[in-house]
Amino acid sequence: MPRKISLRKVVAPPRFQGFRPYGVNGLCSERVELLYEEYEAIKLADYDLMHHTEAARLMGISRPTFARIYESARRKIAQALVETREIKAVYGNAVLDKSWYECLSCHARFTIPRSHKQNSCPLCASECVEPLKN
């Protein structure tokens, strides 16, 4: 029996649900599913320009595992571009960084430093806040 997949830490989930090509005749009906951790790998390596070792530490996985996730992400994006497929963001094996909260009334996202006592929104002071999920 294979070993259980360890969860990958993701700081912030992608801000989109998917991407769809336009200006093509006949969209391929099958979508490419980009996992949250794959999005995170692309973001860390190619947007934040981090080294793989560093990025792997941030996601709580080994460097080879990071490299595999990153490769899979690149291949999926390439496949989507070439085969004009839609990309869909899927949760995957991610665990979201717990330190972020979201205000339910003004949708601001924020952290609560340890020294803070109250759990209210720093902007609108609403008490309706919850840890950021999905």
Partner 1 sequence: MKTVITAAGNTADSAFDRRFGRGAWFCVLNASNQIEEFIENVLVEASNGAGTKAAEKMVELGIGKVISGDFGPKAKDLLDKFEIQMVILQDESLTVQDIVNRFQHE
Residues that bind partner 1 (CB under 8 A): 11-12, 15, 44, 48-50, 58, 99-100, 106-116, 122-125
Q: What's the CA gap between 85 and 87, in Å, rounded? A: 6
| Number of C-beta neighbours around residue 20 at 10 A | 13
| Residue nearer to partner 1 on the CB measure, 26 or 113 | 113
CB 113, min distance to partner 1, A: 4
CB 72, min distance to partner 1, A: 21
Q: What's the CA gap between 96 and 8, in Å, rounded? A: 8
CB 88, min distance to partner 1, A: 21
| Residue nearer to partner 1 on the CB measure, 75 or 116 | 116
CB 64, min distance to partner 1, A: 20
56 Cβ contact list (under 8 Å, min separation 6): 62, 63, 65, 66
| Residue nearer to partner 1 on the CB measure, 32 or 121 | 121
Distances (CA, A) of 105 to 15, 108, 110, 127: 19, 8, 13, 9
| Residue nearer to partner 1 on the CB measure, 5 or 125 | 125
